[in-house]
């Protein structure tokens, strides 16, 4: 026959009334033996590393969509708080922030380059799409290829204007257009027409008298 359990080692449990009691009970159990629990967990991890890692990996995989959805929802709900906190941190830890940025740039330079290129092309495309207003062929010279098109400052002075708003031109200009909700005063021209207009004031296509034959 088994000896009776030693009551001093195994005090009888109080019956658990509700899940709150249960929570409280577990909490006490954990904090009462915290050091011990941590040590045991560490030992278990060392002995069963592969098993634990596999379990974690499977868990992440299984709840991937739920986790993503939850994070997205949480971010949307707490967006302002998150941004305010990050801004505050960045201000206080300016040197560290710059260090993190520099590290990121060094580690991901290829990715950043290709992503920037993608963005530049996308902003260019968006501007041309907006200002060509659904026209597939550009009126001045019937240029049909998007890559040959550019955005022209209708009243001229594109360079001066770019200097005024402090951008070097090219992709920054396309981004500026987007940020300013595509203001009026711009049109699509092919590079040739745009170039000729810049030099001679009008594209020779528009006034055949000004055409200079070869």
Residues that bind Zn ion (CB under 5 A): 140-141, 143, 190, 192-193, 203, 205
Q: Which is nearer to Zn ion, 172 or 192 (CB)?
A: 192
Q: Please identify, using beta-carbon distances, which residue of 82 and 202 lies nearer to Zn ion.
A: 202
Tokens 């967006």 — which residue? Answer: 79
Smallest gap, in angstroms, from Cβ of residue 191 to Zn ion?
A: 7
Smallest gap from residue 197 Cβ to Zn ion (A) = 7
Q: How far is the CB of 59 from Zn ion (least distance, A)?
A: 60
Sorted by sequence, the CB contacts under 8 Å of residue 149 that are 6+ apart come out as 128, 132, 138, 143, 188, 189, 190, 191
d(CA 133, CA 179): 18
Cβ 153 to Zn ion shortest distance, Å? 15
DSSP string, 58-121: HHHHHTHHHHHHHHHHHHHHHHHHHHHHHHHHHHHTHHHHHHHHHHHHHHTHHHHHHHHHHHHH
152 vs 175, beta carbon nearer Zn ion: 152
Per the CB < 8 A criterion, the answer to whether 151 and 188 are in contact is yes
Q: Least distance in Å: CB of 147 to Zn ion?
A: 13
Residue 143 or 152 having the CB closest to Zn ion: 143
Helix (H) or strand (E) run with residue 187 in it: strand 186-190
Q: Closer to Zn ion at the Cβ: 153 or 176?
A: 153
């Amino acid at each position: 026959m088994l000896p009776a359990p030693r009551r001093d080692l195994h005090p009888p449990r109080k019956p658990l009334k509700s899940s709150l009691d249960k929570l409280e009970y577990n909490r006490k159990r954990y904090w009462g033996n915290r050091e011990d629990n941590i040590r045991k967990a560490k030992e278990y991890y060392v002995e069963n590393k592969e098993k634990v890692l596999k379990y974690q990996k499977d868990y992440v995989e299984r709840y991937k969509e739920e986790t993503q959805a939850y994070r997205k929802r949480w971010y949307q709900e707490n967006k302002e708080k998150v941004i305010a906190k990050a801004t505050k941190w960045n201000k206080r830890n300016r040197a560290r922030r710059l260090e993190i940025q520099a590290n990121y740039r060094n580690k991901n330079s290829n990715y950043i380059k290709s992503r920037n290129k993608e963005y530049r092309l996308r902003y260019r495309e968006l501007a041309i799409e907006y200002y060509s207003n659904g026209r597939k062929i550009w009126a001045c010279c019937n240029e049909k290829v998007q890559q040959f098109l550019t955005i022209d400052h209708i009243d001229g002075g594109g360079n001066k204007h770019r200097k005024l708003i402090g951008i070097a031109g090219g992709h920054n200009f396309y981004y500026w257009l987007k940020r300013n909700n595509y203001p009026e005063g711009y049109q699509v021209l092919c590079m040739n027409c745009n170039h000729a207009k810049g030099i001679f004031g009008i594209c020779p296509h528009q006034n055949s008298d000004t055409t200079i034959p070869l």
